Amino acid sequence: MSRKSASREEFALSPENSFTYRPLLLIDQVLSVQPVDVTEPPEPVVPDKFSLDQNYPNPFNPSTTIKFSIARQSNVKMVVYNILGQEVAVLTDRGYPPGEYRIIWDGKDGNGTAAASGIYLYRIVADGISQTRKMILLK
């Protein structure tokens, strides 16, 4: 690295639609050149197993994020239930390729009505595996 004074030219468009010229003086700037490795982007990481993470934030208001991972192509169904076991909302029910995913629940039921404060369960079923976790909606 070396310390150099350098100048740079700047062009601007004036109100009359003509170019104006202003030289800029950059004094005592440290100039350096960093090598850049030009390679192919890394392959996406494929999870080695199915997992369902705890939602965040928890407790939440008005929305929360639920992260899950699947190791192979699977139909994934995620449903939110109230504490009585009644279905509140279906967050997803479709096929996914292997990978990590995030689903956001906006705290609304299947009809678009805001859910009440309380404890909710979210359940995921994918590739014959089922997991359930608890979350709290506070208003």
pLDDT in tens for each of the 139 residues of the chain? Answer: 444 444 444 444 445 555 454 554 445 555 555 555 556 666 666 777 899 999 999 999 999 999 999 999 999 999 999 999 999 999 999 999 999 999 999 999 999 999 999 999 999 999 889 999 999 999 8
Looking at the structure of the chain, the number of domains it has is 2
DSSP letters, the chain, are -EEEEEEEEEEEE-TTS-EEEEEEEEEEEEE--------PPPPPPPPSS-EEPPPBSSSBSS-EEEEEEESS-EEEEEEEEETTS-EEEEEEEEEE-SEEEEEEE-SB-TTSPBPPSEEEEEEEEETTEEEEEEEEE--
Domain extent at residue 133: 51-137
In a domain, 80, yes or no: yes
Q: Do 81 and 22 belong to one domain? A: no
Q: Do 69 and 13 belong to one domain? A: no
pTM above 0.75, yes or no: no
In a domain, 46, yes or no: no
In a domain, 60, yes or no: yes
In a domain, 39, yes or no: no
Q: Do 73 and 106 belong to one domain? A: yes
Q: Do 26 and 58 belong to one domain? A: no
In a domain, 62, yes or no: yes
In a domain, 19, yes or no: yes
In a domain, 84, yes or no: yes
Q: Do 68 and 9 belong to one domain? A: no
Q: Do 22 and 56 belong to one domain? A: no
In a domain, 42, yes or no: no
Q: Do 19 and 58 belong to one domain? A: no
Q: Do 91 and 133 belong to one domain? A: yes
